């Protein structure tokens, strides 16, 4: 299942760095981005369920993972690391057409790479869309958000998400290593 773990980590990375919509103050902006993080974690667990080799009991267990405890941790990390204005800009970008095209395409590519099928695949993002995604990712804000996501010593989003999902999947007797 090493292939699965590689795709799991890759999908989480892509979906966390690009993926949401807008709100008003710091708490609501952080909450919105945290909810998106949880939604993306659900995408990952759905992919794990689709991956061959899980029995009905394991699939049921994965279906019943409660993400609410992780949502609070993610929100706290976001509120601590980013200003209300930064959170708003991230949410606005993530709701944009280029970001959504990129997210959908990458998610579907991951599904197919892990043996799944996609009934109506999204078109590959255009060069213009990819340019906008890369420009955001390479901007000061995109870089700062990536650091918040990737920071291991500060308990970044990737580490929180990976630890949570690993713990929950272990309870379901699903080994993604």
Domain ranges of the chain: 2-171
Looking at every residue in the chain, the average pLDDT score rounds to 80
Q: In 3D, which of 81, 111, 88 has the Cα closest to residue 15?
A: 111
Q: In 3D, which of 14, 13, 49 has the Cα closest to residue 176?
A: 49
Mean pLDDT of 8-23: 46
Q: Which residues does 30 contact at the CB level (< 8 Å), separation at least 6?
A: 75, 78, 79, 82, 87
pLDDT tens for each residue of 127-157: 999 999 999 999 999 999 989 888 866 568 8
Looking at residue 153, its pLDDT comes to: 62
pLDDT tens for each residue of 16-33: 444 433 334 556 888 888
Contact indicator for 20, 33 with CB cutoff of 8 Å: yes
Looking at residue 42, its pLDDT comes to: 76
176 φ/ψ angles, rounded to the nearest 5 degrees: -100, 10
Has this prediction a pTM greater than 0.85? no
Say yes or no to pLDDT of 46 above 80.
Answer: no
What pLDDT band is residue 113 in, cutting at 50, 70 and 90?
Answer: confident
Which comes out higher in pLDDT, residue 130 or 10?
Answer: 130
CB crowding 88-122: b at 16 or more within 10 Å, else e? bbbbebbebebbbbbbebbbbbbbeebeeeeeeeb
Say yes or no to pLDDT of 109 above 60.
Answer: yes
Looking at residue 3, its pLDDT comes to: 43
């Amino acid at each position: 299942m090493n292939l699965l773990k590689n795709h799991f980590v890759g999908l989480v990375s892509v979906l966390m760095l690009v993926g949401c919509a807008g709100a008003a103050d710091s708490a609501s902006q952080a909450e919105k981005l945290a909810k998106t993080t949880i939604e993306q974690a659900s995408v990952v667990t759905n992919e794990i369920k689709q991956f061959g080799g899980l029995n009905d009991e394991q699939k049921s267990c994965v279906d019943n993972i409660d993400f609410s405890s992780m949502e609070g941790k993610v929100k706290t990390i976001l509120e601590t690391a980013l200003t209300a204005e930064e959170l708003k800009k991230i949410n606005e970008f993530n709701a944009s057409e280029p970001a959504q095209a990129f997210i959908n395409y990458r998610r579907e590519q991951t599904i197919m790479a892990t043996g799944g099928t996609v009934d109506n695949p999204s078109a590959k993002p255009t060069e213009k869309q990819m340019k906008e995604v890369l420009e955001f990712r390479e901007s000061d804000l995109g870089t700062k958000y990536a650091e918040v996501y990737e920071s291991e010593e500060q308990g970044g989003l990737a580490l929180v998400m990976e630890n949570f999902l690993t713990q929950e999947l272990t309870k379901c007797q699903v080994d993604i290593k």
